[in-house]
Homo-oligomer: A and B are copies of this chain.
Amino acid sequence: MSTELWARTIEDLAPDIRAGRVSPVALTESVLDRIKQHDGTLLSYIHLAEDALKSAQEAEREIRDDRWRGPLHGIPVGIKDNYTTGDMPTRAGTEVPGFSFPREDANAVARLRAAGAILTGKTRMHEFAWGTVTPPTRNPWDVGRVVGGSSGGTGAAVMAGLCTAGMGSDTGGSIRIPASLCGTVGLKGTFGRASRAGVVPHTWSLDVAGPLTRSVADSALMLNVLAGFDPADPSCQDRPVPDYTEALGQAVQGLRVGVCRNHFFGRNQVEVENAVEEAIRDLAAQGMTVHEFKIPNLEYGLGAIFAVELASSTAYHDVSLRDGKTRHFEPDVRSLVELGRFVTGVDYLKGEQLRRVLMADFRKAFEEVDVIVAPTTALTAWAHDAKTLEIAGEQESVLAASWRLTYPFNLTGLPAISMPCGFDRDGLPVGLQIAAKPFDEAMVLRVAHAYERTHDWAARRPQL
């Protein structure tokens, strides 16, 4: 494992920073050098913080003065461009002029700052989070490949060491898809676990704020800071926040691994399916029992999430539609926002009703299992110009395939993580998805950490 500062995890750095063995300034310099060196190619940032080094110096002073704030103190963190920031502009991925987002910290940003994190800048995203590609960001494992999206800038930056951890947001898979395609860990908590106040909305009833990191433990450390009540987000729930690091290292023997055999399997790239099947065998080898089941109603999920996302994002862009700004959106995003006008209230309600049905189906499934394990994406990172690919013997749109396995956990609001579970023959990472009951992020992290301990996938770094 590389000992270069930019390549280390929070978990690994924090004790050294606290003890004065690692300087936050040196760490930040290492990350900024890395950005200078590689972001001309990767294009993971849209804006760099001007005062990152100054913040690092301040952190260093505080720690020297025995005012260590916690594990994120002095850690360089990249922020997806749909989180508003007091000291940096916010564009939510659009280049269309005329949008003006508040110049104040989103709740998550304020929490990270209060925890002592060093904000490195704003990372690139698919315009208004409406897509799974993040043009023009390049994948650190193969710059000819996409990074996934919409939190693609964060995915690339975290993997390539252009920050130690980063923020994403997930409406239909936007944290987990770039995590899968870039080989990072990406955690979408339960809907309502963390505040979205200050995150430019995509779909109010689906959007989740969460981290991308380089280890499961790092996701637990980030969630410790992000989780909690905020009255400014009407969906944010007032529930106790456990210390998520307590889930790490706990025994998994006897836990029940659920495998939903329809929808999630049988339409994936062979190497994806093989890697995930092997991961399931590995969990079984650790003493977990495997339970197979089916949720036939997932067949209707795509229509439901499309109706809900289209209507919601179009409601958000209603003013822009009327004043003509959407004409200047990227063609793919413009189509979706304009198409959303034709979703009826009835369509929307039927989508929401299917969500209730699926929540009940998954609740029933979770009577028999502790986690559900599946691939995160049906395919590994595709070439920038690919529109369709052959997957399991059929030509399929890469966009359709990209979120098929992630959106069920948005429709149901369940917590789900993506973590690497192997690499395909092209050296591209394969993502393993682990979901649990509502507000049981601790269970997700416990099983993910147990898997991670027995593999070195997360420690691999791309050659740049």
Contact = CB atoms under 8 A, between A and B. Distances in A.
Contacts of A349: 204, 311-312, 315, 348
B234 A345 contact: no
A315 B307 CA distance: 14
B315 A346 contact: yes
A356 interface: yes
Complex A-B, nearest 8 residue pairs according to Cβ-Cβ distance, in ascending order: A311-B345, A345-B348, A343-B345, A315-B349, A315-B346, A314-B346, A348-B348, A345-B345
20 contacts: A310-B345, A311-B345, A311-B346, A311-B348, A311-B349, A314-B346, A315-B345, A315-B346, A315-B349, A315-B350, A315-B353, A318-B350, A340-B345, A340-B346, A342-B344, A343-B345, A344-B344, A345-B345, A345-B347, A348-B348
A304 to B, nearest CB: 12
Interface string A332-374: 0000000011111111111001001000000000000000000
A356 B235 CA distance: 11
Interface of A: 204, 234, 307, 310-312, 314-315, 318, 340-350, 353, 356
A336 B430 CA distance: 52
A318 B353 CA distance: 13
A180 B64 CA distance: 72
A359 to B, nearest CB: 8
A418 to B, nearest CB: 29
Nearest to A360: B234
A318 B346 contact: yes
Contact of A345 (B204, B314, B353): B314
A312 B342 CA distance: 17
Nearest to A317: B346
A307 B318 CA distance: 16
Nearest to A314: B346
Contact of A307 (B307, B311, B342, B345): B345
A437 to B, nearest CB: 16
A56 to B, nearest CB: 40
Contacts of A348: 311, 345, 348-349
Nearest to A343: B345
Contacts of A315: 345-346, 349-350, 353
A351 to B, nearest CB: 9
A349 B309 CA distance: 11
Contacts of A341: 344, 346
A315 B346 CA distance: 5
Nearest to A347: B345
A76 to B, nearest CB: 37
Contacts of A312: 345, 349
Contacts of A318: 346, 350
Contacts of A204: 349
A340 to B, nearest CB: 7
A88 to B, nearest CB: 28
Contacts of A307: 345
Contacts of A350: 315, 318
A344 B346 CA distance: 8
A315 B310 CA distance: 18
Nearest to A318: B346
A464 B310 CA distance: 57
A412 B343 CA distance: 26
B234 A356 contact: yes
A234 B355 CA distance: 12
A356 B232 CA distance: 12
A157 to B, nearest CB: 33
A353 B346 CA distance: 17
Q: Among A315, A345, A347, A350, which residue has the most Cβ atoms of chain B within 10 A? A: A345
A301 to B, nearest CB: 17
A326 to B, nearest CB: 13
A341 B314 CA distance: 18
A354 to B, nearest CB: 12
Contacts of A234: 356
A341 B343 CA distance: 10
A199 B74 CA distance: 57
A350 B311 CA distance: 10
Contacts of A347: 345
Given A311-B344, A315-B350, A340-B345, 13 more contacts: A307-B345, A311-B348, A312-B349, A315-B345, A315-B346, A318-B346, A318-B350, A340-B346, A341-B344, A341-B346, A342-B344, A344-B345, A348-B349
